[in-house]
Amino acid sequence: MSLDKPKGSVFSYTVGFVLSLLFTIIPYMLVTQGKASGGGLLFALALFAVAQVFVQLVFFLHLGQESKPRWHNLAFGFMVMVVVIVVFGSLWIMNNLNYHTMSPQDTDKYIQNEEAITPHAD
Amino acid sequence: MNEAVIPETRPVHLDAEVDFSARSGPSRTNGTVKGASQQKISSLRQKPQRVSSSAREQDEAVHESGKTVFGFWVYVMTDCVLFASLFATYAVLHNNTYGGPGASELFSMPFVLAETLILLTSSYTAGLAMLAAHRGNKQSVLTWFFVTFLLGAAFLGLELHEFSSLVAEGHSWRASGFLSAFFTLVGTHGLHITSGLIWMTVLMTQVVKKGLTGTVVKRLSLLSMFWHFLDIVWIFIFTIVYLLGAQS
């Protein structure tokens, strides 16, 4: 990222490129072949996405390779914090809002689905 | 404090003045003060003084470019926050299809895989172009950035094709909350790619006209940082919109 000394080499860029191809094609196959499903698949997809981002940050953007003081890393960490608050906060609030504004029938369905409670047989 | 010294070492001072005036930018006054403060030494040894001051100039130049790179990095971080809010919007709205088809029926997965591979490759060639820029190999820089440009343009063409066929089938951004969020998120990424391509054209012209000067290489490194960042955003779009969408 700095001008004085170039970071990375053809080798490190190629390693990053091959890894990023792998981390794209494997989750793609998982989804299209339909071998996995449900929570396990979600977890695998999230894992591959995180691995992919890690590869991009380290091999292409050279994050974590600067000398002290590490202002780039600090700004990056702050960004991650804001992103987590925005994304998970939005989902949490909107889910809660959705729950509280449901019709009674929808609430019944929701409870049955989410908490596996079946209604009384009259 | 150095004013008194100046008259006796006038020739050296003039020499230093000429030396500094070759540079441009706001740090010029700094340089002049520095030149004056070192005149006692320089009256004894003229040559070493000039060498050390040019080394300090280089230090300053590196420091300045470090600030530029960091400033651009902060911009990229704020852009991440912008995309995060669009992702949050999509995550909230992705089930609100208003009776229309959802993500799993609308998107063609091989098509999206092709887009992703093209963008990943363009990120790699941008990295190779930067390595060539640091080596000072002008021809190689131009070749790799041209390849990057072609790949970026191909990606943009595929995305526009996807958009136009969705709209032609009646699934425009007006059809549902899900499609509004989809077009906003993916369209914002496409706009970033477009501006990256324009920026790349401008910088390739600068490389041809000015050569690989320090300023041009600095601009190229900012562009490649921007391009890698767009790649990262696309990975999230690929995973969250397309892979998870095809799954549900």
Instruction: List chain A residues with CB under 8 Å of B231.
Output: 56, 60
Instruction: List chain A residues with CB under 8 Å of B120.
Output: 17, 20-21, 24
In terms of Cα–Cα distance, which of A37, A48, A73, A93 is closest to B247?
Answer: A37
pLDDT score for A39: 83
pLDDT score for A3: 44
Domain of A60? 1-65
Task: Indicate the residue of B77, B91, B244 with minimum beta-carbon distance to A76.
Answer: B77
Burial of A121 (0-12, 13-18, 19+ CB in 10 A): exposed
Q: What is the pLDDT of residues B39-73, one digit of tens each?
A: 544 444 444 445 556 667 767 776 777 889 999 99
| Same-domain check for residues A87 and A98 | yes
Domain boundary among the residues A16, A33, A65 is at: A65
Q: CA B228, CA B119: separation in Å to the nearest integer?
A: 9
| Same-domain check for residues A2 and A60 | yes
| Same-domain check for residues A1 and A59 | yes
pLDDT score for A122: 55
| Same-domain check for residues A6 and A44 | yes
The gap from C-alpha A22 to its chain's centroid, in whole angstroms, comes to: 17
Question: Using 50, 70 and 90 to split pLDDT, how confident is the model at A5?
Answer: low
Q: Do A76 and B214 touch (CB under 8 A)?
A: no
Task: Indicate the residue of B81, B240, B246 with minimum beta-carbon distance to A82.
Answer: B81
| Gyration radius of chain B over CA positions | 26
Q: What is the pLDDT of residues B203-245, one digit of tens each?
A: 999 999 999 999 999 999 999 999 999 999 999 999 999 999 8
Question: Using 50, 70 and 90 to split pLDDT, how confident is the model at B121?
Answer: very high
Domain boundary among the residues A65, A87, A110 is at: A65
Average pLDDT over residues B153-169: 96
| Same-domain check for residues A30 and A54 | yes
- For the entire predicted model, the pTM comes to 0.79
Average pLDDT over residues B165-173: 94
| Same-domain check for residues A58 and A80 | no
| Same-domain check for residues A16 and A56 | yes
Percentage of chain B exceeding pLDDT 70: 75
| Same-domain check for residues A60 and A11 | yes
Average pLDDT over residues B111-129: 96
ipTM (interface pTM): 0.85
Sketch out chain B's domains with CATH numbers.
Answer: 7-57 (no CATH), 94-247 (1.20.120.80)
| Same-domain check for residues A83 and A120 | yes
- Of A98-102, B111-115, B176-180, B202-206, least confident by mean pLDDT is A98-102
Q: How far is B105 from chain A (nearest CA, A)?
A: 13
* Tally of structural domains, chain A: 2
| Same-domain check for residues A39 and A56 | yes
Domain boundary among the residues A65, A80, A113 is at: A65
- Of A86-100, B24-38, B110-124, B155-169, least confident by mean pLDDT is B24-38
- Of A52-56, B15-19, B145-149, B235-239, least confident by mean pLDDT is B15-19
| Same-domain check for residues A57 and A27 | yes
pLDDT score for B11: 44
DSSP 8-state assignment for residue A56: I
- Of B53-62, B78-87, B119-128, B154-163, least confident by mean pLDDT is B53-62
| Same-domain check for residues A1 and A46 | yes
